Chain A
Amino acid sequence: MGDKLLFVQGNEACVEAALYAGLGFFAGYPITPSTEIAELLSMRLPQRGGKFIQMEDEISSMCAIIGASLTGLKSMTATSGPGFSLKQEAIGYAIMAEVPCVVVNVMRGGPSTGLPTKVSQGDVMQARWGTHGDHAIITLTASNHQDLFAVTVEAFNLSETYRTPVILLFDEVIGHMRERLMLPEPGEIPLVQRLRTSVREGTDYHPYLPREDGRLPMSDFGGVHRYNVTGLMHDMWGFPTDNPQVAYGLMRHLVDKIEGHVQEITRIKEFFLDDAETILISYGSAARSALHVVENRRARGERMGLLELQTLWPFPAGLVRERCSHAKFVVVVEMNMGQILLEVRKAMQDSERVFLANRIDGTFISPTDIRNILRVIQGKGV
Chain B
Amino acid sequence: MPVKAYLRERFMPHIWCPGCGHGTIMNNLVRAVDSMGLKKNEVVMVTGIGCSSRISGYLDFHTLHTIHGRALAFATGVKLARPELTLIVPMGDGDALAIGGNHFIHAARRNIDITAVIMNNSIYGMTGGQFSPLSGYGKLATTAPYGNIYESFDIVELAKGAGASFVARTTTYHVASMKEILEKAIRHKGFSVVEILSQCPTYFGRKNRVGDAVDMLNYYKDQTVPIGSEKKNENPALIERGIFVQEERPEYCAEYERIVEKAKRGVGI
A binding-site residues for B, Cβ under 8 Å: 24-25, 27, 43, 46-47, 49, 51, 53, 55-57, 59-61, 63-73, 75, 89-90, 93, 221-224, 226-232, 237, 239-240
Contacts and interface: CB of A to CB of B under 8 A. Distances in A.
B73 A51 contact: no
Nearest 9 CB-CB pairs, A to B? A67-B77, A64-B77, A60-B73, A46-B263, A63-B73, A56-B106, A68-B81, A68-B77, A230-B65
Contact of B41 (A49, A55, A223): A223
B97 to A, nearest CB: 15
Contact of A89 (B10, B67, B77): B67
Nearest to B256: A51
Contact of B80 (A25, A59, A237, A240): A25
A43 B269 contact: yes
Contacts of A221: 44, 62, 64, 78, 82, 85
Given A27-B77, A90-B70, A230-B65, A67 B46 contact: yes
Contacts of A60: 70, 72-73, 76, 102-103, 106
Nearest to A51: B80
Contacts of B134: none
B260 interface: yes
Interface in B21-79: 40-42, 44, 46, 56-57, 60-67, 70, 72-79
B62 A65 contact: no
Given A25-B77, A90-B67, 7 more contacts: A46-B259, A63-B76, A66-B77, A222-B85, A226-B60, A231-B65, A231-B67
A70 B64 contact: yes
Given A47-B264, A226-B41, A25 B73 contact: no
A68 to B, nearest CB: 4
A71 B42 CA distance: 12
A244 B151 CA distance: 43
B182 to A, nearest CB: 20
A227 B62 contact: yes
Q: How large is the interface on B (under 10, 10 to 19, 20 to 34, 35 or more residues)?
A: 35 or more
Given A25-B80, A68-B80, A230-B57, A63 B44 contact: no
Contacts of A70: 64, 77-78
A308 to B, nearest CB: 35
Contacts of A27: 77
A79 to B, nearest CB: 15
Interface string B129-166: 00000000000000000000000000000000000000
28 contacts: A27-B77, A43-B263, A43-B269, A51-B256, A53-B77, A55-B73, A55-B76, A57-B102, A60-B103, A63-B74, A64-B73, A64-B80, A65-B77, A66-B66, A66-B77, A67-B73, A67-B76, A67-B79, A70-B77, A73-B81, A89-B67, A90-B67, A226-B61, A228-B8, A228-B63, A229-B63, A231-B66, A240-B65
B219 interface: no
Contacts of A222: 41-42, 44, 62, 82, 84-85
Contact of A67 (B63, B65, B75): B75
Nearest to B84: A222
A233 to B, nearest CB: 12
Contacts of B61: 226
Given A46-B259, A51-B256, A229 B65 contact: yes
Contacts of A90: 67, 70
A59 B10 contact: no
Contacts of B70: 59-60, 63, 90
Interface string B224-249: 00000000000000000000000000
B264 to A, nearest CB: 6
Contacts of B8: 228
A89 B256 CA distance: 28
Contacts of A47: 263-264
